[in-house]
């Protein structure tokens, strides 16, 4: 086997090793949207960012995640047990009863549900070895002719490092996930902001959690642009 052939195979093996576990084969063949950007207003800026959206989230997935946020049964929360419930074939459980435990917050319930949701894409930063799995992706018409693309990651951006720490003195958000909103024109060009230092709340236009006050947040993804030639967002 030639030296070039061996080097090519090694390169493919190394690249595959960097993909998060469970990366679908569709990653290699098709995606509904594909963007490049540069990080801004965070500790690791400027850094090259790539976003690959393999598919848009289904209505069923959206409803399941919103049910979790609303703390409804079936949305990822087990619900309280009866006090004094007995294990099969055993005595009543000792210790604090489940009903005495504070209920989960909407943020915690959504974080748990996101971990059980299928991956719909990835966000990659050049300075990080592993990417971030996207567990929600939706596109809706937005203001001034811009499309809104809402993304939610399975873990918080910068969970393992300081690269995504917001610049300035504002306190970082405590969510175990990150909500990202891109606003792009018909050519797939625009900017993005995230929940790194802001709050999230239900958004009726998206039918999902979104950034509570987009305009007040700093841009964290500048120069957003479609990486698929001739492909806008419409």
Any domain includes 15 = no
Any domain includes 138 = yes
pLDDT of residue 210: 97
Mean pLDDT of the chain: 80
Any domain includes 14 = no
Any domain includes 117 = yes
Distance (Å, whole) CA 1 – CA 102 = 63
pLDDT of residue 40: 98
Any domain includes 132 = yes
pLDDT of residue 104: 87
Query: Counting runs of H as helices and runs of E as strands, what totals does the chain give?
Result: 4, 10
Any domain includes 33 = yes
Q: Which residue has the tokens 């069923």?
A: 60
pLDDT of residue 96: 53
* Cα distances (angstroms) measured from residue 73 to each of 113, 118, 119: 12, 20, 23
Any domain includes 87 = no
Number of folded domains in the chain? 1
For each successive 10 residues of the chain (234 residues), what is the average pLDDT?
38 37 45 95 97 97 97 55 42 51 86 97 96 97 93 96 88 92 95 96 95 96 83 50
Any domain includes 96 = no
Threshold 0.85, pTM exceeds: no
Residue 129 structural domain: 26-76+102-225
pLDDT of residue 168: 79
């Amino acid at each position: 086997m030639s030296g070039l052939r061996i080097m090519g195979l090694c390169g493919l093996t190394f690249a595959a090793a960097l993909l998060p576990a469970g990366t679908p084969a569709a990653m290699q063949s098709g995606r509904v949207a594909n963007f490049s950007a540069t990080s801004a207003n965070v500790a690791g800026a400027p850094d090259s960012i790539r976003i690959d959206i393999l598919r848009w989230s289904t209505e069923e997935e959206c409803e399941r995640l919103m049910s979790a946020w609303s703390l409804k049964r079936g949305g990822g929360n087990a619900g309280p047990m009866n006090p004094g419930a007995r294990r099969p074939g055993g005595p009543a459980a000792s210790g604090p009863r489940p009903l005495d435990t504070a209920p989960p917050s909407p943020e915690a319930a959504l974080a748990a549900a996101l971990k059980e949701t299928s991956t719909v894409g990835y966000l990659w930063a050049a300075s990080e070895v592993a990417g971030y799995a996207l567990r929600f992706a939706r596109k809706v018409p937005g203001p001034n002719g811009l499309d809104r693309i809402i993304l939610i990651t399975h873990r918080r951006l910068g969970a393992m490092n300081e690269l995504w720490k917001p610049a300035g003195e504002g306190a970082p958000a405590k969510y175990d996930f990150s909500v990202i909103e891109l606003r792009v024109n018909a050519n797939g060009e625009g900017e993005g902001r995230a929940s790194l230092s802001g709050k999230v709340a239900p958004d009726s236009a998206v039918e999902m959690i979104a950034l509570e006050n987009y305009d007040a947040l700093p841009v964290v993804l500048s120069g957003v642009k479609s990486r698929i030639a001739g492909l806008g967002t419409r």
